[in-house]
Amino acid sequence: MTVTMTPVTATPTHAHPRLFMIRVWREQAGSPSTVWRGKVQSLPDGEAYYFHTWARLIAHLQAMMESERSGNLDSEPEKGDNP
């Protein structure tokens, strides 16, 4: 079997790419179960959002990208889960 690989060139689909730092850590909640927590921070402006589920992280990232596309860059940051 022959596999042909086609080179992919990265072309930006957005005029202003966004950079995020995502930190994830594990906490013992006083029980044998492990709780995962995280923080996403927009760089370089520093807007931060804490989350405890992947769904909340994805929803917040989508909201941040949508607010930029709509031109609403000065919106109030959402309050996330407690750190």
Cα separation, 24 vs 51, whole angstroms: 9
Nearest residue to 20 (alpha-carbon basis) of 52, 70, 63: 63
Could you list the beta-strand ranges (E) of the chain: 19-28, 34-43, 48-51
Yes or no: say if 66 and 73 are a contact pair by the CB < 8 Å rule: no
pLDDT of residue 72: 53
The residue extents of the domains of the chain are: 19-69
pLDDT of residue 74: 45
pLDDT score of 76 more than 50: no
Q: What is the mean pLDDT of the chain?
A: 76
Cα separation, 53 vs 51, whole angstroms: 6
Q: Pick the more confident residue, 68 or 18.
A: 18
pLDDT of residue 17: 77
Residue at 30: amino acid letter: G
Q: What is the pTM of this model?
A: 0.58
pLDDT tens, 26-41? 987 777 788 889 999 9
